[in-house]
Structure formats: C-alpha cells, structure tokens
C-alpha cells in the first residue's frame, strides 16, 4: 500500500463527492419533477445529472472561480478596449449551459412561453450545484425575452440569436455572431432599489423615435461581455427601458466605458462592472415612462432563477454534508449514525426538501399561468415570497453544512467555502429582502380578492397539516393591520412556509410534509438546524431520501 507520508497513513477522510448522478441521488428532486408532470423525463434528467456530477466539471468550477475575469480597459498604446477576459473554464461552462438550452429553452420561436419552466428548473437546479457565476448571464439572457416581447421588431431580430445554442464569446457585432447573451443595467450609485432616482439620460436621435443616445452610468452591471443590455434611463417621457448593444448598427464599438470590475465576496467567476455610457446607442423597449413596468417582466424571471439557484446551492451543501457524515468516523462510530448528527442532517434535509418542492411548484405555476388565472396569481404572489425566503435561508444553511465537515469545510479546496461566499448574492440582487417583501405586500394590497384566493388554495392544498390554518390566519390578520409594512417579513415568511408545506403535500411523502409543517408552521423554526422535534424514524427516512446511496 502506498504510504504518502513518512509518519502516518491517511485514513478516515471522506472521498470527494464527485462522479455522482445529481438527479438519481436526489429523491426530493425526482418527486418534485414527477409532481410537476415531467416524470417521463427522468432518464434525460439522470443523464444531465451524471454529466454535471462529473469530477472534471467540479475541477473546472474551481478553476473558473480561482481565476476571476480581468478588465482590459486600454491596449498597450492607450486605445480603449473595454473588454473583459475570462478563464477558459468560464467559457466552458457558458458553452455547456447554452448547449443545454438553459438560456432560452423556455421560449417558442415567437417569444411566447413554451411551458417547460419546470423541466428547465430541474436542469438549472443541478447546474447551480456545480458553478454559479456563469449562470448570471444565462439567467439574464433567458429573462431578457420577457422584456423584449413588448417590441415585436426587436424581438424578431434578436430572438433567433438569443435562442441559438452555439455559445460565441467573440467580441463582434451581434449580427455576425452565432449566438448572443443579454445583460441588464438598472443600478446607479445613488440607488439600486429606487431606480426612479436614475440620472442617466436618453435623447431621441432618429426620426422614427425608437433610437436614442444614452449618457450616464451604472454602478453594477454584471456580465459586461454580453452582446447587449437592457438598461433604464430617463427619457423626456420618464424612466424608460432600452436595449443597448455593444456595437452600434454601423459596426463601430458602442459607447460603453468600463471603469473597473467589482472585487466581490463571492460570485468570482462572473464579472460585475462599473460602467459609463458616453452617447451610447440604444433602442427604446416599450413606451417612454414605462421602464419599470417593462423591465419587471425580466425581473420576475430572474427572481425565479434566484430561487432555483439558492435551492441548488443548498442541495449541494446538504449532499456534501451527508456524504461526509457517512464516511467519517468519530469515537468509533460513523458521524451519520450519531443521533445528534442524524437529527441535524434530517432537519437540513427537510429544509432542502421544502425549497425543492416550492421551486418546482412555482415553476409549474409559470407553466400553467397562460391559461389559468389562479396559477397566474400564484406566480405574482409567490415569486417574491419564494425569492425572499429561499435566498434568505441559503447563507445560514451553507454555513451549517460547512460545519458538518468540520475544519475541512472551512478551507478553500473544498466546495463549501465557495458556496458560503456565493450564497448571499441571490438575496441582495434582483430585489433585496425588504424590497421583495414590500413587493408581496403591494401585490396583496392591489389584488385583495386574488390574494385571498391564493391563500385559500394554499390552505386547501395543505389541508390537515399542523399549523397551516393558523399561519394563514396570522397572514390575514397581519394584512389587515395599518402597520403591516413593519411586519412584512413575518407575513412573507408565513406565506413562503405555507406555500412550501402545500407544495410538499403535492410532491413528497406525507411524512415529509407533516414533519415540515410540524417544525415550520406549528412551531417557528429557529435560526439553527437540528432543534426540530423529529423522531429517529423520521430522521432516518429524511437522510435516506436526501442522498440515495
Ligand atoms: C454581485 C452583484 C451583481 C450585480 N449585478 C447587477 C446588474 O447586473 N445589474 C444591475 O442593475 N444591478 C446589479 N446589482 C445591483 C443590485 O441589484 C443592487 O445592489 C440591489 O438592487 C440593491 O440596491 P442598492 O445596492 O442600491 O441598495 P439600496 O437600494 O440602497 O438598499 C439597501 C437596503 O435597504 C433595503 N431597502 C430598500 N428600500 C427599502 C424600504 N422601502 N423599506 C425597507 N428597506 C428598504 C434593501 O432591502 C437593502 O437591504 C448587482 C449587485 C451585486 C452585489
């Protein structure tokens, strides 16, 4: 036997969690996919799961994040370049995700929804377990169609390039490329939430009135090598949405001047720029003054991806923790068999069961929404609620999983440290915690009747689960209070957990839905895991389901 060290043999270290089928090992995902009507895709999803679970992709993810992108503002002679160079591993992930269609598979050729949101979500969820930075442009490109749909001419020109599955990272005019990606620029220095305070201005340049010159800045604009950006700027008629390409229609480089890249906590493989627009060419998207309404069509979809991506990160953190606990002995006993560790892992598994079921149920609502007003109402109320809840719990969850691996969890060679640094971003962008809670309140206030119907249907779905009726009553009471804004988080947390219990009722075994409701509806779950009142049997079942041997 090889003895790599002179003083000791290496024993009791868990093997790397690689070369696994990310789909077949995840019973919660399989159940949620079946409940969403996509059980027939199991073989294809399993092939996808095996591919994304490969050791070499895990290694590429490490490389993409250890070699962050570099901004090349000027060339050696002082001419502006304004390009960002990425590590080949990043390009590899872009090519993988685009060939799988994650950036566009939900759209028909005319820009209508293809009804396969849940099917894409299952794939996106597995991808999020491996590499997150590249998913930013994948998400924005997919969501851009929601906003572009309002301008049929622009949509007809751009959608074929958006839908193409042949990633093309070259810096060339979009019409010469095999495929394009689209970013978004809303946030300015003086305000990200309050985009009405935007100072960037837009002036009409063409007689027909849909071509503008834009001057100003954006304080955050991610994935700056996208081929175009949906941007908000102040036109004479008010805040308006625009499509700003990297190249002007005459083939010249457009007036986007990148100032620097953000030095971020996580999300290292992705570039996030500060940018100035100098008379930058752009087409108007939607009417002047309707910018927020137009771009919200995009934001609704990016928020759904934030939910899927956070759930995916939690899933990988859980799988790493369970895998480690099954291979590590402490005091002559496997960690996974120690009663306290088993309760902890089971409580964490329950959280991921919930997040998985909620995300898939929400995506099913997106699929059903075009012909079903009740499902459309669910999408409006539950997207910001799920965005708030799942993205908010992910950082604490990844920390707890890290601790399950002990000291190994804290070092950079492992995947937990990266997940931990990545996790907070989904809660901050695309509407921070308070902002999405206020969005839920606004939607509930604007559409009182539809809101009551959604609440009633959730209670019906969760019928008989402990605490469901009480949580629904609490939400209704909070909604009637004049100071409801101060209690928005409590109302939204209740709504998200109620929707989760209802989703679990429809997809997971009854024992899972019961355990979730007991510990998250009847009792308020604390910030830490492992304190839920789970029986030994429940704990064993949950951990078995969490990582199928
Ligand atoms: C890595 C990264 C990448 C990003 N990429 C992009 C991008 O590509 N394009 C883009 O446009 N933006 C991007 N952003 C910006 C992001 O969307 C904003 O940071 C976010 O919207 C918050 O805006 P802000 O930073 O101005 O904070 P603020 O709007 O100042 O908010 C600060 C805090 O106040 C809270 N708050 C706001 N209003 C209220 C209220 N009425 N009541 C109670 N609390 C409130 C918020 O929840 C938040 O916690 C990115 C951010 C990050 C971190």
For 332-367, write each residue's pLDDT tens digit. 999 999 999 999 999 999 999 999 999 999 999 999
Q: Which amino acid residue places its CA nearest to atom 38 of ligand 1?
A: 435
Pocket residue to mutate for ligand 1, from 134, 195, 428, 492, most atoms within 8 A of Cβ: 428
Say if CB 120 and CB 105 are below 8 A apart: yes
Between the CA of residue 138 and those of 105, 305, 313, 341, 500, what are the distances in Å? 11, 10, 17, 37, 26
Q: Say yes or no: domain 293-546 is CATH 1.20.140.10.
A: yes
Atom of ligand 1 nearest to the CA of 194: 29
Ligand 1 atom 25 nearest Cα: 192
* CB-based contact 173:251 (threshold 8 Å): yes
* Closest among 165, 152, 265 to 210, alpha carbons compared: 152
CA distance 149 to 324: 47
Report CA(311)–ligand 1 centroid distance (Å): 21
Secondary structure (3-state) at 314: helix
Query: How far apart, in whole angstroms, are the C-alpha atoms of residue 209 and residue 219?
Result: 27
Ligand 1 surroundings by CB, under 6 angstroms: 183-187, 191-193, 220-222, 264, 267, 272, 425, 428-429, 432-435, 438
Give yes or no on whether 66-289 and 293-546 have one common fold.
Answer: no
Ligand 1 centroid – CA 228 distance (Å) = 22
Give the pLDDT score at 2.
54
- Counting ligand 1 atoms within 8 A of each CB, the residue from 185, 220, 421 with the most, and so the one to mutate, is 220
pLDDT of residue 32: 98
Question: What DSSP letter does each residue of 430-494 carry, written as one string?
Answer: SS-HHHHHHHHHHHHHHTHHHHHHHHHHHHHHTTT-TTHHHHHHHHHHHHHSTTGGGGHHHHHHH
pLDDT of res. 444 = 85
Tokens 């990988």 belong to: 316
The Å distance, Cα 11 to ligand 1 centre, comes to 47
CA 434 to ligand 1: nearest atom: 47
CA of 222 to the centre of ligand 1 (A): 13
Spacing, Cα 188 to ligand 1 middle (Å): 10
Going from the Cα of 431 to the center of ligand 1, the distance in angstroms, rounded, reads: 6
* Residue matched to tokens 């999983």: 401
At CA 93, angle to CA 409 and CA 192, rounded to 5? Answer: 80
CA 55 vs. chain centroid, Å, equals 23
Distance 274 CA to ligand 1 centre (A): 14
Ligand 1 pocket test target in 135, 137, 192, 262 with most atoms within 8 Å of CB: 192
- The rounded Å distance from CA 276 to ligand 1 centre is 19
Q: What is the DSSP string of 233-263?
A: EEETTEEEEEEEESB-TTSSBPSEEEEEE--
Among 183, 188, 222, 429, the mutation site with the greatest number of ligand 1 atoms within 8 A of its Cβ is 429
Enumerate residue ranges in the chain where pLDDT < 70: 1-3
| H or E segment and range at residue 40 | none
- R_g (Cα) of the chain, nearest Å: 24
Ligand 1: centre distance to CA 187 (Å) = 7
In the reported structure, the alpha carbon of residue 364 is separated from the centroid of ligand 1 by a whole-number distance in angstroms of 28
Helices (H), 15-82: 27-35, 42-52, 55-66
Q: Which helix (H) or strand (E) holds 163?
A: helix 152-163
**In CATH, what number does 66-289 get?**
2.40.110.20
Ligand 1 atom closest to the CA of 431, numbered from 1: 21
Closest among 522, 293, 527, 313 to 423, alpha carbons compared: 313
Burial call 480-511: b when 16+ CB within 10 Å, e when fewer = eeeebeebbbebbbbbbbbbbbbbbbbbbeee
Residue having the nearest C-alpha atom to atom 41 of ligand 1: 435
- Structural contact between residues 534 and 347, judged by C-beta atoms closer than 8 angstroms: yes
Residue nearest to ligand 1 atom 21, measured at CA: 192
Give the atom of ligand 1 at the shortest distance from the alpha carbon of 191. Answer: 26
What pLDDT is attached to residue 4?
73
3-state SS of 357-388 is HHHHHHHHHHHHHHHCHHHHHHHHHHHHHHHH
Q: Where are the domains of the chain?
A: 66-289, 293-546
């Amino acid at each position: 036997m090889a003895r790599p060290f002179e003083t000791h043999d290496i024993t009791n270290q868990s093997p790397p969690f690689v070369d696994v089928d990310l789909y077949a090992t995840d019973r919660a995902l399989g159940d949620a996919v079946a409940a969403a009507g996509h059980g027939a895709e199991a073989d294809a999803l399993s092939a996808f799961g095996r591919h994304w679970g490969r050791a070499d992709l895990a290694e590429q993810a490490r490389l993409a994040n250890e070699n962050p992108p570099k901004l090349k503002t000027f060339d050696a002679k002082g001419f502006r370049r304004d390009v960002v160079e990425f590590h080949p591993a990043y390009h590899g992930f872009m090519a993988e995700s685009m060939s799988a269609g994650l950036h566009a598979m939900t759209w028909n050729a005319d820009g209508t929804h293809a009804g396969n949101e849940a099917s894409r979500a299952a794939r996106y969820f597995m991808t999020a377990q491996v590499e997150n930075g590249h998913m930013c442009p994948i998400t924005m490109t997919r969501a851009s169609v929601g906003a572009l749909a309002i301008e049929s001419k622009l949509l007809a020109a751009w959608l074929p390039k958006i839908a193409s599955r042949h990633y093309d990272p070259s810096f060339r005019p979009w019409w010469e490329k095999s495929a394009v990606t689209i970013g978004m620029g809303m946030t300015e220095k003086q305000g990200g939430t309050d985009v009405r305070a935007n100072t960037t201005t837009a002036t009409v340049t063409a007689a027909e009135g849909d071509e503008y010159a834009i001057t100003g800045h954006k304080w955050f604009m991610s994935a700056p090598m996208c081929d175009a950006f949906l941007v908000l700027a102040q036109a004479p008629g008010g805040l308006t949405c625009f499509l700003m390409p990297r190249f002007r229609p005459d083939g010249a480089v457009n007036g986007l001047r990148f100032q620097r890249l953000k030095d971020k906590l996580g999300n290292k493989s992705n570039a996030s720029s500060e940018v100035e627009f100098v008379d930058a060419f752009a087409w108007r998207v939607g009417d002047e003054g309707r910018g927020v309404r137009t771009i919200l069509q995009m934001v609704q979809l990016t928020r759904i991806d934030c939910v899927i991506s956070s759930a995916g990160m939690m899933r990988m953190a859980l799988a790493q923790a369970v895998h480690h606990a099954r291979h590590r002995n402490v005091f002559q006993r496997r960690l996974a068999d120690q009663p306290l560790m088993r309760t902890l892992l089971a409580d964490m598994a329950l959280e991921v069961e919930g997040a998985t079921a909620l995300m898939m149920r929400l995506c099913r609502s997106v699929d059903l929404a075009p012909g079903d007003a009740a499902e459309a109402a669910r999408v409006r109320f539950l997207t910001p609620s799920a965005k708030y809840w799942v993205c908010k719990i992910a950082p604490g969850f990844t920390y707890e999983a890290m601790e399950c691996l002990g000291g190994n969890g804290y070092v950079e060679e492992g995947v937990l440290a990266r997940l931990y640094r990545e996790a907070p971003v989904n809660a901050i962008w695309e509407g921070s915690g308070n902002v999405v809670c206020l969005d839920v309140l606004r939607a509930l206030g604007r559409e009182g009747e539809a809101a009551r119907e959604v609440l009633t249907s959730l209670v019906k779905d969760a019928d008989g689960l402990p605490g469901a009726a009480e949580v629904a009553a609490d939400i209704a009471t909070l909604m009637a209070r004049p100071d409801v804004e101060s209690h928005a988080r409590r109302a939204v947390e209740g709504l998200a957990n109620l929707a989760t219990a209802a989703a679990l009722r429809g997809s997971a075994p009854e024992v899972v839905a019961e355990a979730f409701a007991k510990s998250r509806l009847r009792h308020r779950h604390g910030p830490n895991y492992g304190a839920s009142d789970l029986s030994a049997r429940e704990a064993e079942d949950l951990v078995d389901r969490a990582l199928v041997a």
